[in-house]
Amino acid sequence: MAGEGPSHDASAPAASPFAPPVKRSVTIAGHQTAISLEPIFWQALRAAAAREGLPVNALIARIDVARMATAAPPNLASAIRCWLFDGAIRS
């Protein structure tokens, strides 16, 4: 995942949970796409991928497949946020 400069480093702890979104490039099924998420969601996504024993791109691909199976698929960034939140409230 490529970043957009040092002031938008999603790997560093966010000073505020209200930090602006950070755009990252990811590869899903061999295709590059850009996803914008707030740093707190990038951190949660990396932690979830580590728990699942998957690279972040593979976890995003899983979430993408699940979202496309719904009657009205949300955009990918929304699906990731919802997936993360659902996991948090179920644990």
Banded pLDDT at 65 (limits 50, 70, 90): very high
pTM exceeds 0.85 = no
Fold for the domain defined by 20-85: Ribbon-helix-helix fold (1.10.3990)
Dump pLDDT digits (tens) for 23-60.
999 999 899 999 999 999 999 999 999 999 999 999 99
**8 Å CB contact between 22 and 38:** yes
DSSP β-bridge partners for residue 24: 35
Domain coordinates in residue numbering, the chain: 20-85
**Sign of the torsion formed by the C-alpha atoms of 78, 80, 84 and 86:** positive
Which pLDDT tens digit goes with each residue over 69-83? Answer: 999 999 999 999 999
Other residues' Cβ atoms within 10 Å of the Cβ of residue 13: 8
The number of angstroms, rounded, from the C-alpha of 33 to the middle of its chain's C-alpha atoms is 12
48's tokens: 């979830």
